[in-house]
Each structure stands twice: as structure tokens, then as C-alpha cells.
Structure 1
């Protein structure tokens, strides 16, 4: 039984990046052997096990055979006879098909180290085209490692474009598309992710609404916004995603949300920022309009919404907006008004709401005249 470190851990170690997780492949063993040693199997039909102490993932060497359509139609075959080279051949990119033995030596049958040094993302074999999810995955890698100078090999670009043209992306669920978007947002490279998809003709398939607005000018704006977010350590995915939709209307944002199955918080923030940014960024803030926005945002019960919208607008402008501090102070003071004070005055029923509205408006008038 031989154990090898594989995949992303080897790749990132060679690039000098922080290793976030370690995956291992085991050659020459059976499930029964690992279970006897205390490993815990993950799932019933997939030969992946958790180490009894470290909880790192250990997988039996395996091959995959395409059966059916989409990214789930694979039959996994594993046995002690599957070699390390067989296991590495099923991987997507040469840079992800490098193994490291326990003595530290590299096993690199598909020249991944050479491609790492040349900063090239290249597919391992033609079997690459059997999995449509790899279109998004390669775009994500190209974006993540863009700062290191990585590019997609020409033959791999051609293969990816052919996969898009065949309609392979249509087999992906909106939930799966969002998962790859989310990973790219976490990488802090979502601008390059979308740009790569656009160049592969894939963005129009994933979201026509996004493709309709995509151009070099928007890409450059997003680069500046994400740099600003990085500078101030802003990592919330909903805030970052809202930068894509800041100039879209509600229908366009809803179409994007449906196409890639945005989580509710990301969808709602995108909608709120789009709907209220004009009022909040106006050179002359009108108290009545501000009150209307605060009511729509439900500031009184959900103050975090108001703060998030202001932060989204700040990132979009790459600076603190003119009245941001005044808006925060005024909203805090207006929110502190307690209905009980009107009840104590004998005000009842619908008149309580009217009194609240009037008192909150008076607060805003003191700040913005």
C-alpha cells in the first residue's frame, strides 16, 4: 500500500501558496483494509475515507468512465490494481495531476511541473471534455492564478469553446453554477472569472443578462472595486457580487438570480443597492425620500440591510460616499425612536404609525435640509 499527496496541495506547495487542505490517494489497498485501520468511509459508493487522527481525505486510486450526460454521469471504478498514473489521468489539468510520495519525490507523468513553471493551464487528456463542470472550474483556476501570470493553453481553450458550443453547460444546475461563482468570489477573483467565461463564450449561456452588460469597461471597473474591497479586507460574498449588478434594474437582477440561483442574501442586497443608491448618493438628500428608502429596507427591524447597502455603494465608488457618516448617524437616531412613547401619550391604533413616521422624518430633516 502506497500513499501519495495529490492535487491542489502539491500544486500550491510548488507555487509557494498556503495549503488549505490535503488530499491523499492510496494505491494497492482495499476499502476493507482501510476500515480495519480505523478510517471512516465518506459515502457508500465513493472510495474516499477520513484519516482516524487527522481527518484528512484519503481516496483509493480510481478511474472514471463516462455514462450518461452531465457532470454526474460517471461510473467510478477502483481496485488495488489501479495505478497512480491511472488515477492521475482522470484529473482535469496537468498542474493538478502531480503526486508527492512519502519520501518527498514527485510523480509527474503528465508534465504538470513543467506547465506550472510555464504558468500554463492545460488539460490532461481528451476525457477532460466529458465533464461540463470543468468549463467553470478552469475559468476559476485561471482567475485565481491570474496574478501569477497563468493562462489557459490554446488547445485547452479550443476544447472548452467546443464544449460550450455543444451545449454542455446546459446540463449544469443553477445551484452548481452558483457554487463555482461562490468559490471564485471567495478567491477574490470574480472579475477575472467572469471575463474568462466571456472569452470562452460561456457567459451568455450561464446568464444572458450578465453577458449583455459585459464589456472591457465594466471589467476594468470591477477590477478597481475588487481591489478596493481587498484593500479594506471586505470578503462578504453578497457585497462582492453586488458590484456586478450595481447598474442593473430589478428585472435584470432577478433574471441573473434565477439563472445562477443566487442565495437570498446576495439577491436581496443586489436589489436593494440598485433600488436605493440614487437616493443615498444624491448630492442633496431629501428627508422624505430617505424615509421612503428606510421603510423599504425595513431599517427599523433590519438595520444591517441599510449598512450593507451603504457598504455596497462605497465599494462601487471605491470611496466612502459623501454623506455616509451622516446617514449612519441619522438612521441610528431615527431607529431609536420607541413606539412606547406615543402609546404613553394616549395615541392608539394606526395613529401610532403616523406618529412614528412623523418623528423619524423630523430626525432626517435635522440632518438633511
Structure 2
């Protein structure tokens, strides 16, 4: 029995960046031997075990063979005869197909270290094209390591293009796709994820609504970058720069989908794109079964982001309607995330990244003013039921009028 550290732990150590997860592969062992040493089995499809003390995952060396469509369409074979090299060749990228023993002696049969130095994301073998999930994974790695100068090797991008055209991407489950998408959006340069998906044709398969934004012009006076797709990528980049949570980043990606529906003869204006885009945002949300908080914020940002930009001009009654839509009294955090998405949208414009966004503090102040309305005095006056609701609304409107006059 020989045990090796493999994959990301080896890669990141060689890159000199913190190692977060450690994967181990065990060569020359049987399931019975692992159980006898106290390892606990966890893998339903192939032999993976948890270490009795550390809880880390140890997998028996295995080979795999394509047996069906999609990410799960594989038959695995694990036995003591499977070599380390045979186990490594089934991995996605050369930089993930390295192993080291407890003395840090490197096993690198597919030149991963060379590709690390060349800053290349390159597939290990033609079997790469058998797993559609790898299209998303490579795009995610491109986003993660973009700051270090990594790019996707042309021949790997070509395989990703073939996968995108094969219909295999449609076989991915929403859960697996969302796992990759959400992780990619939380990288330091999530816009690179979208760029790589677009470069290999996967974006028009997975998110045709986002792909449709590229080449759609906007008014240069408001959007010096002009192209709606380019603007969306810039907004996503700003969201990462400002360390926004996943909910905000997802909303930033989808906020302008309605502009992809504008007839060419109306370009570069996009009248009512906020409302037109809602059905598209809903479709993308449902396609990937995004978590409810991501779905809700994306819909609200899509509908109201231009309200955010015009906050200083809004009538008190419109401002009150906006606050009610977000339920700022019970869910203040969601409104805060809306403000953040609006600010990222404003900053995601060429040459305007540093411009101040006074709307943010104005909206926060408005929410505070509306929240300060006390319900108890109204109850003491005898209001109840629907009448109480109307009385609260009147008092909040009065508070917002006073707030607007003060600012």
C-alpha cells in the first residue's frame, strides 16, 4: 500500500499559494485492507474512505470508462493493480495530475509542472472530452488563476468547443452546474469564467440569455463601454473587487438580461428592459436551481436597479413602494445587497469605476427613516387590521417626505 498526496494540494504548493483541501490516493490496496485500518467508506460509486483520525478523503487508485451521457456516465474500476500513472491520466488538467509522496518526491507523468511554469491550463488526455463538467471546471480554474497569468491551452479550448457543440452539456444536472457556477462567481476574477465559457461556445448553451448581451449597444453617454456584454463582465469584476457575496454577484450577472430582447431598430435605447428581463432571469434561476436568496435578489435587482440609480429623484411615494417591495422592515440585509448590486452596476462602466455613488447612502437613510415609524402610538389610537396598515403607510410616507426635504 502506497499513499500519495494528489491534485490541488500538489498544484497549489508548487505555486506557492495556501493549500486548503488535501486529496489522497492509495495505490496497491483493497477495500478490505482500508476497512481493516479503520477507514470509513463514503463513496457510493467508487471506493473513497475517510481517515479514522483526520477525516480527510482517501480514494483507491482507479480507472474509468465512458458508459453513458453526462457527468455521471462513467464506469469505475478500482483494484490493487491500478498504477498511480493510470489514476492520474483520468484527471482533467495536467496541473491537477501530479502526485507526491510523504517525502515530497514528485510524480509528474503528464508534465503538469511544466504547464504550471508556462501558466497553461491543458488537458491530460483526449478522455477530457468525455466529461462535460470539465468545461465548467476549466473555466473556473481560468477565473481562479487569471491573476497569475494562466490561460487555457488552444487545444484544450478546442476540446471544450467540441463538447459544447456535442449536446453533452445539456446532460449536466442543475445541481452540478450550479456548484461550479457558484464557486466560479466567488473567484477573484469571475468575469474570466464567463469569457472562457463564451470563447468555447458553452455560454450560448448554458446561459443563452447572457450570451445574447454581447454585441448589443447601449447609449454611450451612460455607458462609455457601449457593449452590454462587456458592461456585464465589468459589473461582475467590480462585485469581486468589492468582495460582494454570491447573491450580489449572481444578481450582477443577470441584471441586464432584458437588453438582449430589445429590437435592433430601438438600439441603443432599452425601454422597459427591467420588466422585459424578468422572465429571462426567472428562467436562468430555475434552470440551475439557484438558492432562493440568489433567485429573489436577482429578480428584485433586475426590476428595480434603475430605481436605485434614480434614487435622489424618486418621489417619496415611489421610494416607499421600493422599500415595501424589499420588505426592508423584516429583511434589511436584502435591501443592503440591492444597494450593493446597484453600486456595482454604476461602477461597471468604462472610466467610471471610481465615481462616487451617493444613491447608496441616500437609500440607506430612506430605509432608516421609514423604519423609525413607531407602530405602538397608532395602536393606542385604535387603529387595527387594514386601517392600521394604511395608517403605518401614511406615517412612513410622511417620514420619507421629511427625510427628502432634509437631504
Deviation at 1:84, TM superposition (A): 0.5
Relative to structure 1, the CA distance from residue 95 to residue 188 in structure 2 (aligned partners, 3 Å threshold; closer, same or farther) is same
Matched residues in 2 for 1:360 and 1:226: separation?
A: 35
Matched residues in 2 for 1:162 and 1:226: separation?
A: 27
Matched residues in 1 for 2:110 and 2:186: separation?
A: 29
Matched residues in 1 for 2:178 and 2:45: separation?
A: 26
Matched residues in 1 for 2:237 and 2:75: separation?
A: 42
Unaligned runs of 5+ in 2: 216-224, 258-276, 348-354
Residue number in structure 2 paired with 1:257 = 285
Alpha-carbon displacement from aligned partner over 1:230-267 (angstroms, at most 9, x marks no partner) = 44433x10111211122232122112212332221112
Relative to structure 1, the CA distance from residue 159 to residue 330 in structure 2 (aligned partners, 3 Å threshold; closer, same or farther) is closer
CA contact (8 A) 2:174 2:288 kept: yes
Relative to structure 1, the CA distance from residue 267 to residue 214 in structure 2 (aligned partners, 3 Å threshold; closer, same or farther) is farther
- Kindly indicate whether residue 220 of structure 2 is the aligned counterpart of residue 238 of structure 1: no
Residue number in structure 2 paired with 1:180 = 180
Residue number in structure 1 paired with 2:385 = 349
Residue number in structure 1 paired with 2:331 = 302
Relative to structure 1, the CA distance from residue 190 to residue 313 in structure 2 (aligned partners, 3 Å threshold; closer, same or farther) is same
- Kindly indicate whether residue 276 of structure 2 is the aligned counterpart of residue 267 of structure 1: no
CA contact (8 A) 1:285 1:368 kept: no
CA contact (8 A) 2:235 2:253 kept: no
Relative to structure 1, the CA distance from residue 321 to residue 315 in structure 2 (aligned partners, 3 Å threshold; closer, same or farther) is same
Deviation at 1:116, TM superposition (A): 1.1
Matched residues in 2 for 1:338 and 1:37: separation?
A: 65
Q: Which deviates the most, 255-264 or 145-154?
A: 255-264
Q: Which deviates the most, 242-251 or 11-20?
A: 242-251
Matched residues in 1 for 2:323 and 2:309: separation?
A: 14
Residue number in structure 1 paired with 2:350 = none
Residue number in structure 2 paired with 1:278 = 306
Matched residues in 2 for 1:8 and 1:219: separation?
A: 32
Q: What SS does the corresponding residue of 1:274 show, helix, strand or coil?
A: helix
Matched residues in 1 for 2:45 and 2:193: separation?
A: 33
- Kindly indicate whether residue 364 of structure 2 is the aligned counterpart of residue 364 of structure 1: no
CA contact (8 A) 1:207 1:259 kept: no
Alpha-carbon displacement from aligned partner over 1:271-320 (angstroms, at most 9, x marks no partner) = 11122222232141210100111112122222222222111112222365
Unaligned runs of 5+ in 1: none
Q: Using structure 1 for the length normalisation, give the TM-score.
A: 0.94
Q: Which deviates the most, 264-273 or 339-348?
A: 339-348
Q: Using structure 2 for the length normalisation, give the TM-score.
A: 0.86
Matches within 5 A, 1:123-272: 123-214=123-214, 217-218=227-228, 220-222=230-232, 224-234=234-244, 236-248=245-257, 249-272=277-300
Provide the aligned length of Structure 1 versus Structure 2.
368
Matched residues in 1 for 2:241 and 2:154: separation?
A: 33
Over the aligned positions, Cα root-mean-square deviation in angstroms equals 1.8
Matched residues in 1 for 2:104 and 2:315: separation?
A: 67
CA contact (8 A) 1:184 1:190 kept: yes
Matched residues in 1 for 2:45 and 2:202: separation?
A: 32
- Kindly indicate whether residue 331 of structure 2 is the aligned counterpart of residue 322 of structure 1: no
Matched residues in 1 for 2:285 and 2:133: separation?
A: 19
Q: Which deviates the most, 275-284 or 12-21?
A: 275-284
Alpha-carbon displacement from aligned partner over 1:188-219 (angstroms, at most 9, x marks no partner) = 33211011000101101001111111358456
Matched residues in 2 for 1:256 and 1:223: separation?
A: 17
CA contact (8 A) 2:62 2:76 kept: yes
Residue number in structure 2 paired with 1:340 = 376
